[in-house]
Chains A and B, each alone.
Chain A
Amino acid sequence: MKMKLTTYICSLLFCCVAAPLLAQQNPTPAPAQTKSVLILNGIAHIGNGERIENSAIGFKDGKLTLVADARLIRLDMSAYDTIIYADSSHIYPGFIASNSTLGLLELDQVKPTNDEAETGTFKPSIRSAISYNTDSEIIPTVRSNGVLLGQITPRGGVISGTSSVMQFDAWNWEDALVKEDDGVHLNWPGVYHRHYDKGKIAIEKVKTYDQQLREIQLFFGEAKAYCHAGKQSQTDLRFAALCDVLSGNKTLYVHASDAKSMTEAINFKVEFNIPKMVIVGGYDAYLVSEQLVSHGISVMLERIHSLPRFNEDDVDLPYKLPKLLYDAGVKFCIQNEGDMERMGTRNLPFHAGTAVAYGLPYEEAVRALTLAPAQILGIDKDFGSLEVGKNARLFISKGDALDMRSNAVICAFIQGRQIDLSSKQTELYEKYKKKYDEQKK
């Protein structure tokens, strides 16, 4: 009989694996997986829309070797070094924070800690990966809620640069790389322009929009010519960084939110024959869903926990956007760009939870944080779902991880390595708890 409590097993494992606590230091990255692990009897959320109520999940050497219904298969328990009984706990593929600036900016108002945007307008060759700070004190607080991977994205300008996909347990950025330079980010110039006017926000049509569009067209036109010409005596780093976008080896992420901008971006995709385009933002995506579907464009949907844009909008419109996109057949994932962005990454699961509260089927909400972003980022061969052969990147939560009421991550694995879930914050908590406990004595 399974007598041991999940928490017990996990915290036991935790104790074995975790390095001794070093005050005010980030946890040590876990060593490579040497022992095989079997997780039994948990509710597995596969990431592809399926769910196994009583699952058996095994992994070895960082790869998933078994994902099955525990009631339907014969298990050779002896083949595993460690067995975790995850009775009625939930198992998820590691959540993915797409369009994230985690590791690029530590303390919003402290300028020296800010590396999220380079100066300039068109700068596709700017690479976020090299700036990603594995020692950010925010990262451990994000992992401990189940977010284990991120697309680290530069901001600013018209073309802000090239993002990379990083995992959240690493010694340095090279270590953290999952997919280097996955795509280039284009901030579509607003057809509307937001400004402050007598204490009010005003939005009006941008008078210089045509000019801005022309500059983008010219830049891509030149890049196309440059890439088409092949080897040249001189190298233009800016254009060279776009060749893979034009050839379809990299994705063009177009940050756009309103219907007009998205329609313009779709026209741009056709005009420049851009194979892979993803919309980042997409408040109005439900209004142009047919066009998005017919052009094969996915959406990295903007923050669910946000206010409706117009007073007349349904008060819950942002909450139900995932449901609207799901119904319209638009491929999408959920991201978290905005105010309190990096520290708020730990609340990413709850954005998906809200989507469920407002109509999105539960496993689709899980997909929007796992397989969907993996597919959009082009890393779904190894990531994004609990399927045999894929990277063993998963976590166990005592309860439903999309609900803050029950989200309690007790074990998390990246490449099969069990990571340390402590952080500077848990250390401070322990430190002061101890202080008050001693006062009581």
Chain B
Amino acid sequence: MIRKTLTAMLFIAIAGIFQAQPTYPYNGILPKSTTSVALIHGTIFIDDQTRIEDGTLILQDGKIISVGSKLPLPANAVVIDLQGKFVYPSFIELYSDYGITSTGGNTEKRNMHDAPSTGSSSDKGAFGWNPAIRSETNASTLFAPKEEQAKEFRNAGFGVVLTHRADGIARGTGALVCLNDNPNLAVIVPQSAAFYSFNKGSSSHTYPSSLMGSIALLRQTYYDADWYSKGGHKEERNLTLDAFSASKQLPSIFDAGDKWNVLRADKVGDEFGIQYVIKTSGNEYQRIHEIKTSNASLIVPLNFPDAYDVSDPYVTRLVSLEEMKHWELAPANCGMLAKEKINFAITSSGLQDKNAFLKNLRKAVKRGLTEQDALKALTTTPARLIRADKEIGRLQPGYWANFIITSKNIFEDDAIIHENWVQGKPYVIEQIKKKSIAGKYQLSWTDSKYDLTIVDEGGKNKANIRVIQTGKDKEGKDIQDTLNYSVSLTMMNEQMSMTFEAKDNQYKGMIRLAGDIEDDGKKWSGKGQLPDGRWIDWQSERTGEPEVRKSEPKTESTPQDNGEIIFPFTAYGSKTQPEQETVWIQNATIWTCDAAGKIENGQILISDGKIIAVGKTIDASKYTQVKIIDAKGKHVTPGIIDEHSHIALESVNEGAQASSAEVEESRVIDPEDINIYRQLSGGVTSAQLLHGSANPIGGQSAIIKLRWGKAADDMLMKGAPGFIKFALGENVKQSNWWNDGSRFPQSRMGVEQIYYDHFIRAREYGANKVAFTNTGKRGAMPTKPFRTDIEMEALYEILQKKRFVTCHSYVQSEINMLMHVADSMRFTLNTFTHILEGYKVADKMKAHGAGASSFSDWWAYKYEVKDAIPHNGALLWEQGITVAFNSDDAEMARRLNQEAAKAVKYGGVPEEEALKFVTINPARLLHIDKMTGSLAQGKDADLVIWSDHPLSIYARAEKTFVDGICYYDAVKDEEMRKAIEAERARLIQKMMLSKQSGDPTQTPMFRDKKHFHCDTMDQTSMGISFK
């Protein structure tokens, strides 16, 4: 804390006070602003930087007039002595829905299956089509003070809150309001910030039904707003877009939550030149480097999890390592953010009980957040983030008189807030007592005497009576007995009442006393009633000072006691990420899947992430720092590539509409999915993360490398082209839904029309776009603005052969149909995936130029796969088609080498060719074969060392390299298992201690991702999934 001398900080009172000129009639005699208030002798924090001892704060009309040390007091001042007290600017809450009344709109949630599939127009007026975009919402028009909520905020130290209607993806604007009861005074900025989220909220529209759909809808809205403001409003009137455009000028606050969503939100902002202020979930410390790089300012909650009740070792297994570690590290989040100089405000949102706010704030301070940074995050930072830093957040002349008076330094455990002043009006939280009544007293009446002790515990009085009672035991001996009565003591100014339950020889039962404090607290007296109802006159004389009870400072863990942050923040993450090595593998059987074929007793050298050489003998003399691996008896293959995967994704299907070409899996990658590591242990190095099969035109896929520990964007494979998922058959026509679907198409016949319709539209869109661009080039202004449509962009890319199609397909009729569509639109279907009846049309596929990515032996799980055969791969391969085997299944993906073996078993594909089904062939299908998929000089060092023949069930991956980095090592894996066990054991001990010390606990609960397949929906609760 910086202590600046007060003399330097004298503020001059603003000359001339203007009288209030209210527009509203006053019920009574109109009060005038004729007096001011002067708070004196307190320790005043002007802002997070500046502290004044023996300060004077003068206010009038709800605003601060002057502040400084020992200022002259105006004649009209009411003087309040704050000797020993502290004064802080009151806190600012940026994230709340305080006082927002529900608009009563349609908030009924409908599930995927009975909601209207698509909305084409709005049913509420001249607004946008999708009710999740509700930019027209103006929170100030929905606001009315709510005393109960206001009180909770004030008790936690807040004076101003930014409130908004937390509903939808674009939520409209929030109002900056003070926590008092007069709405006309309370609202200080009606439209202070615009709010956004990924959550569609109460919208009953099925679109969007996924995180990636939310992102796409928001992006499209930005494009629409741009078009609209440039002239689109001449084509249609859309009040939502009017409001959306207007609110772009305001600070934009994004309720993102989890750390990855913070980065996702920031990326959307970057695209449109907007830096969001992002509300987080409190786990940013887990990815602090990326968060810092985003440059976003944050709004950070203090919702630290309770310890888990880990007394039962079996039940404890439900608690994941990351949950345990987060319990330990969450309170350190703010401190770590501050240390990294990340700009953040603190929010009380997310706390079940606002009473926990100060407790958690102090916890954060004990865990590394400086008091100054804490204060900053609650006052000046939030003020600045919403551009209100000339009005609130400091105690300076001209600012609103919003401050709190505390008993001592607010960050001390037992500090209490006495009063919270809002716009110059005091709200009492815990009365300021003139003098402490703590001490020892003798309480007496007629024939009774009691020793009474009063202790001041954090500003609250705790009273206790001790009686020493003499008597005789059974044998007649004198004995002494000490009795303790706890006394309930209520004070009201100079009046007090006490009750206690007596259990002595004289009285048994409740004794109730009431009286006054006299003689400067030295004497109390009054009347009371004994258990039998008799009235008495009692008095109490002060006999001494209270014993100073120093409460044991609760030992808080030091950083040394805490575990390390691991990457990724889950089991099998590491403190440090593995690095590229120069490795020389010798004596191995090398399956190059390339021109060199299979090399017995071969060598391979990798360095800087690339394959330097592969062959019978190689020259590695240039490399001095070489790690040599003797792979005698072992096999080396290219890393396995899974052409069809749904791991590492937050969402798979955006199936509400027949086309969702606008959604991108690359925006919803979950780099902490344990299946990434599990698949590395099965030799997988790359995968195409595909959209599902819920609609004929699905979403854009993401091609990743399995770089375990890296952030989402760093998983994306650079240089890989864009792909999109299409789907045919039962899933897209909703055949296996338990109730009848309604979204077009419902038959294979409709599917064809969807394709023609969309491609013709995309062609027209493209022509239109070219025309606009050309007009611009010729220097002429287009007569109309061009509206970018991200769905059409994706489809237009297909027509331009810049984006490739992977199509989920089963039966021959529709496969042929789609090839006709593509032929007539002059593009080539890149890959048919699943393609279980491909063997029936292999000749046609060959003629068209399509590849196949199939299952080895799946069938009979639905009607359209009743003719599937395990010889499919072999038959397609024999026709000269590029054939891959894929997983579509997180478990099977770790055994894809064995799936390749089935091409040998069923249909007799030669072993080397079969291995290509999971290496170079999928690489070719994905157009990444120049980079990976085979072992040849200059290619990425993506390879696997196997213990045995790679097509054998007995082969275990011993080491898996991606970009020359060993991301899976069987030996290191054993060490990590032990480390996980040790870390859990440490945390379990710590949680048990926490439980013993009386801290609240929560019941263990297992939370894991859904394992996605083709038709898994984000927002349904279906446990079943089919391919």
| C-alpha spacing A356/B675, complex, angstroms | 23
The answer, among A205, A311, A403, for a CB contact under 8 Å with B1003, is A205
CA gap between A343 and B870 in the complex, in Å: 11
What are the interface flags for B322-349 relative to A under an 8 Å C-beta threshold, 1 for contact and 0 otherwise? Answer: 1000000000000000000000000000
Q: Which residue of A lies closest to B952 (CB)?
A: A405
For B861, give the chain A residue with the smallest CB separation: A108
A107: contacting residue among B321, B570, B843, B862, CB under 8 A: B862
Set A192, A306, A312: member contacting B321, Cβ < 8 A: A312
Considering only residues 842-870 of chain B, those with a C-beta below 8 Å from chain A are 842-843, 857-863, 866-867, 869-870
Query: Is the pair A307, B890 in contact by a Cβ cutoff of 8 Å?
Result: yes
Q: Is the CB of A108 within 8 A of B318?
A: no
B1021 within 8 A of A: yes
Interface string of B666-692 (1 = CB under 8 A from A): 000000001101100100000000000
Taking the closest CB of chain A, its distance from the CB of B749, in whole angstroms, is 21
Query: What chain B residues lie within 8 Å of A358 (beta carbons)?
Result: 956
Say whether B1005 contacts A202, CB under 8 Å. yes
Please determine whether A202 and B1007 come into contact, CB atoms closer than 8 angstroms: yes
Beyond A205-B1003, A403-B953, whether A311 also contacts B860 by CB under 8 A is: no
Would you call B51 an interface residue if the criterion is a C-beta within 8 Å of the partner chain's C-beta atoms? no
With a CB–CB cut-off of 8 A, which chain A residues contact B952?
403, 405-406
A-B pairs under 8 A by CB, number: 176
CA distance A405 to B635 in the complex (A): 15
Does A189 belong to the interface (CB within 8 Å)?
no
Closest A residue to B1023 using CB positions: A196
Give A358 to B953 CA distance when docked, in angstroms.
10
A405 to B681, CA, bound (A): 20
> Does chain A have a CB within 8 A of B977?
yes
Q: Does B736 contact A (CB under 8 A)?
A: yes
Chain A residues with CB under 8 A of B953: 350, 353-354, 356-357, 402-405
Q: Is A135 on the interface with B (CB-CB < 8 A)?
A: no
Residue B895 at the chain A interface, CB threshold 8 Å: yes
State in angstroms the CA–CA spacing of A174 and B1023 once bound together: 36
Q: Which residue of A lies closest to B948 (CB)?
A: A357
A residues in contact with B1010, CB < 8 Å: 196, 199-201
Complex CA–CA separation, A235 to B860 (angstroms): 41
CB-based contact B842/A201 at 8 Å: no
**Contact of A353 with B954 in the complex, beta carbons under 8 Å:** yes
Contact with B along A407-420 (1 / 0, CB 8 A): 11000000000000
CB-CB under 8 A from B1007, the residues of chain A are 197, 200-202
CA distance A404 to B856 in the complex (A): 11
Tell whether B973 is near chain A: CB-to-CB under 8 Å.
yes
B891 touches A307 (CB 8 A): yes
Task: Choose, from A67-75, A327-335, A427-435, the stretch at the interface.
Answer: A427-435
- The A-contacting residues of B in range 672-727, CB under 8 angstroms, are 674-675, 677-678, 681
Give B953's nearest chain A residue, CB to CB: A353
Chain A 378-407 interface 0/1 with B at a Cβ cutoff of 8 Å (1 = within): 000000000000000000000000111111
Contacts A107-B861, A342-B860 given; indicate if A432 touches B1021 (C-beta within 8 A): no
Complex: A113 Cα to B949 Cα, angstroms: 40
B side interface size, CB within 8 A: 78
How far apart sit A287 and B315, CA to CA, in the bound complex (Å)? Answer: 13
Cβ of B898 within 8 Å of any chain A Cβ, yes or no, is yes
Task: Please report the C-alpha to C-alpha distance between residue A343 and residue B675 in the assembled complex, in whole angstroms.
Answer: 25
Taken together as a complex, chains A and B put the C-alpha atoms of A428 and B872 apart, in Å, by 10
Decide yes or no whether B353 CB sits under 8 A from chain A: no
A343-B861 contact given A196-B1023, A310-B320, A403-B952, CB 8 Å threshold: yes
Inter-chain contacts of B677 with A (CB < 8 A): 315
Bound Cα distance A165, B867 (Å): 28
CA distance A106 to B860 in the complex (A): 7
Report yes or no: B861 in contact with A439, Cβ–Cβ below 8 A. no
Q: Given A107-B866, A305-B892, A425-B870, do A138 and B860 touch, yes or no (CB 8 Å)?
A: yes
B266 within 8 A of partner (CB): no
Cβ-based interface call for B1026 (8 A): yes
- Contact among B862, B869, B977 with A428 in the assembled complex (CB-CB below 8 Å): B869
A260 to B677, CA, bound (A): 29
In angstroms, how far is the closest chain B Cβ from the Cβ of A107? 6
| Interface pair A405/B901, CB less than 8 Å apart | yes
Is B394 an interface residue when CB atoms closer than 8 A count as contact? no
Once A201-B1010, A357-B955 are accepted as A-B contacts, the answer to whether A429 and B1005 lie under 8 Å apart by CB is no
**Which one of B322, B678, B866, B954 contacts A315 once the chains associate, using CB atoms below 8 Å?**
B678
- Indicate if B296 sits at the interface (CB-CB under 8 A): no
Contacts of A110 in B (CB 8 A): 862-863
CB of B651, distance to nearest CB on chain A (Å): 8
Whether A275 sits at the interface, judged by CB under 8 Å, is: no
| In contact, A312 and B980 (Cβ under 8 angstroms) | yes
A316 to B678, CA, bound (A): 8
Judged by a CB distance under 8 angstroms, whether B1018 is at the interface is yes
Contact A404 B1026 (CB under 8 A): no
Assuming the contacts A200-B1007, A404-B898, A405-B905, asked whether A311 and B674 have C-beta atoms less than 8 A apart, the reply is: yes
Contact partner of A108 (CB less than 8 A), chosen from B875, B889, B890, B1026, is B1026
Q: Which chain A residues (321-364) contact chain B, with CB distance < 8 Å?
A: 339-340, 342-343, 346-347, 350, 353-354, 356-358
Give a binary string over A104-123; 1 marks a CB under 8 Å from any B CB, 0 the rest.
00111110000000000000
Chain A residues 180 to 209 lying within 8 A of chain B, measured CB to CB, are 192, 194-197, 199-205
Distance, CA A426 to CA B874, complexed state (A): 13
Question: With a CB–CB cut-off of 8 A, which chain A residues contact B948?
Answer: 357
Q: How far is it, in angstroms, between the C-alpha of A358 and the C-alpha of B681 when the chains are bound?
A: 13
**A224-250 interface code vs B (CB 8 A; 1 in, 0 out):** 000000000000000000000000000
Across the two chains, which residue of chain B brings its CB closest to A260? Answer: B314
Other 11 A-B pairs with CB < 8 A, given A202-B1008, A316-B681, A356-B954: A107-B862, A109-B862, A137-B860, A137-B866, A199-B1009, A353-B953, A354-B895, A404-B902, A405-B949, A436-B842, A436-B878
- Counting from the closest, the 5 A-B pairs by CB-CB distance are A203-B1006, A353-B953, A109-B862, A429-B871, A196-B1021
**Which residues in A have some Cβ–Cβ distance to B below 8 Å?**
106-110, 137-138, 192, 194-197, 199-205, 258-260, 284, 287, 305-308, 310-312, 314-316, 339-340, 342-343, 346-347, 350, 353-354, 356-358, 402-408, 425-426, 428-429, 432-433, 436, 439
Q: Which residues of B come within 8 Å of A, CB atoms?
A: 314-315, 317-318, 320-322, 570-572, 650-651, 674-675, 677-678, 681, 730, 735-736, 839-840, 842-843, 857-863, 866-867, 869-871, 875, 878-879, 889-892, 895, 898, 901-902, 904-907, 948-949, 951-956, 973, 977, 980, 984, 1003-1011, 1018-1019, 1021-1023, 1026
Q: Could you give 24 example pairs across A and B, Cβ below 8 Å? A: A109-B735, A109-B1026, A137-B866, A196-B1022, A199-B1019, A200-B1009, A202-B1005, A203-B1005, A260-B314, A307-B675, A307-B1011, A311-B321, A312-B984, A347-B857, A356-B953, A357-B954, A358-B956, A403-B953, A405-B901, A407-B905, A425-B871, A426-B871, A436-B842, A439-B843
